[in-house]
Chains A and B, each alone.
Chain A
């Protein structure tokens, strides 16, 4: 295996929904992301950001074109193997956090490894490390309901990072936060990227995208620019 295999590759990817008439969401999108990058996918609503996220996250298959995660072609994998890819190689961060309110922070983060064939004790150990790395090491027993929005997003980020996935996909991670808290989350993302995590941010906020070294601009299902600062 060479070190130069991109973490994520998209080649002429299209996605259409429905058939009468078909609605194109993505039309011929190509780019690749290598390990250690911090990329912002920027676009207004309706530009195909969500579809792109789902395709990158293997939650959906493209209508045509090629999507590969760490060199694995999504088209060649069964549904169950795709689930394993998500469990071991992809971390998701959602705008709404999606935390289990009745579980402790530690259990929430440990669940990030629930479907990855990792023994329970090890899951908890790794979860404790991940919580520490997002600055919540002292509150492992707390419930999400006791936290502020920014803290909740930190827990969600820890859950995405636990098990060191090849790529973290963050969907509007600051969308539900005020600007100060959003700034803190962005600082955390910068920091995690500096420590080696590959992160793709999907956002419609230019301010958020501006912090990323590489920006992919999406409009009407096409990439209009792909710039590296």
Chain B
């Protein structure tokens, strides 16, 4: 006789049905109380997703531009004077075995203006650089408009604008006969470059040919920056010999750097701002948890009769507790799922406008889901204990 008095057990299906009663019958309330958790999880997923996507985008860009570009610039002499690269530096560098491309620019003292009517003090910070003929390809940029310098135009009063220089001069397209006032004479424009991510110093430069710079601007033909592409994998070896190759007499006066290294560092540093937004997401989760706990407590009060009925139908205290705890977890889980969806969608949308590959790290969505479950459990604990403690006779009393 005693044996069939085993405490009854609910199957998972029955538990799911019983625990979702409150959600199914009070949908708007459930949705609103899950909203806080949804917003928190969405913020966390979006922050992690966006930073991962932008990092991946940056790394992809670096990959596309190549990590094998090195720049050689004139540094300072031991006396603090600006050093000068020898005239033969580009030629010497080209002789280094793994080097595949050598291009260079030389700073002139000239300034460029939209017209002779512009006061000479308004230089816009633009520099005029003599540039070799394969420069855009070596630094990984292309022409936005028109054409680049060639062997013929490099000898003439012809200029090409860097991306930013064009903007500062107010020029956004190339038409025949367009010219700028450069070094006290008219130079005809033939092209505008796209931004050079690895060599941003070119962006605010006005480029002219070396022969033209010498002829019209009195340029001394000394290169100031040499752009060196080498066989990928031997970049470090090349980097170590570039100083001595460029200026055998004073290798210390030469600065050698790898522009992609700076970008990689920037990609790594991208996570720094995240902690702020993650903190905001966590606060939102906390507020959401309070909301869920509040709604669950109200639900327990409102559903006293249901609790009493279930106890009279044979539910144990434990089953009542499990029911309300599961309901809170279910509620938080719904919010978490909605938040993950919202965070993922916003990541995908934003990444696509930036032409990045959208990446939602596993830690982001799995962490968001785990946080939601945990919050549901914590928020549901007190209401569930209250529901279970309610005496059946108290619960059956009608007000």
B4 touches A72 (CB 8 A): no
A98 touches B306 (CB 8 A): yes
- Given A57-B312, A59-B312, A84-B5, do A115 and B396 touch, yes or no (CB 8 Å)? no
CA distance A85 to B305 in the complex (A): 20
Mark each residue of chain A from 153 to 176: 1 if its CB lies under 8 Å from any CB of chain B, else 0.
000000000000000000000000
What B residues does A116 contact at CB under 8 A? 8, 314
B7 touches A83 (CB 8 A): yes
User: Would you list which residues of chain B between 369 and 398 have a CB under 8 Å from chain A?
Assistant: 391-393, 396, 398
B317 touches A79 (CB 8 A): yes
B14 touches A84 (CB 8 A): no
Kindly report which residue of chain B lies nearest to residue A70, judged by CB atoms.
Answer: B1
B396 touches A94 (CB 8 A): yes
Min C-beta distance of B395 to chain A, whole Å: 9
Which of B17-25, B53-61, B211-219, B257-265 binds A? B17-25
- Given A102-B24, A115-B319, do A86 and B313 touch, yes or no (CB 8 Å)? yes
A-B contact count (CB 8 A): 95
- What total of chain A residues lie within 8 Å of the partner, measured CB to CB? 34
CA distance A90 to B5 in the complex (A): 13
What A residues does B318 contact at CB under 8 A? 80
Min C-beta distance of B212 to chain A, whole Å: 85
What A residues does B306 contact at CB under 8 A? 98, 100
Asked if B315 is an interface residue, CB under 8 A from chain A, the answer is yes
What A residues does B392 contact at CB under 8 A? 54, 59-60
A83 touches B316 (CB 8 A): yes
CA distance A100 to B9 in the complex (A): 21
Question: Which residues of A are at the interface with B, using a C-beta cutoff of 8 A?
Answer: 1, 50, 54, 57, 59-60, 71-72, 77, 79-81, 83-88, 90, 92, 94-96, 98, 100-102, 111-112, 114-117, 120
A-B contacts, 27 of them at CB < 8 A, read A59-B391, A59-B392, A60-B391, A60-B393, A71-B1, A81-B2, A84-B5, A86-B313, A86-B314, A87-B313, A88-B314, A90-B312, A94-B309, A94-B396, A95-B398, A96-B305, A98-B305, A98-B306, A100-B21, A101-B25, A114-B313, A115-B10, A115-B313, A115-B314, A115-B315, A115-B316, A116-B8
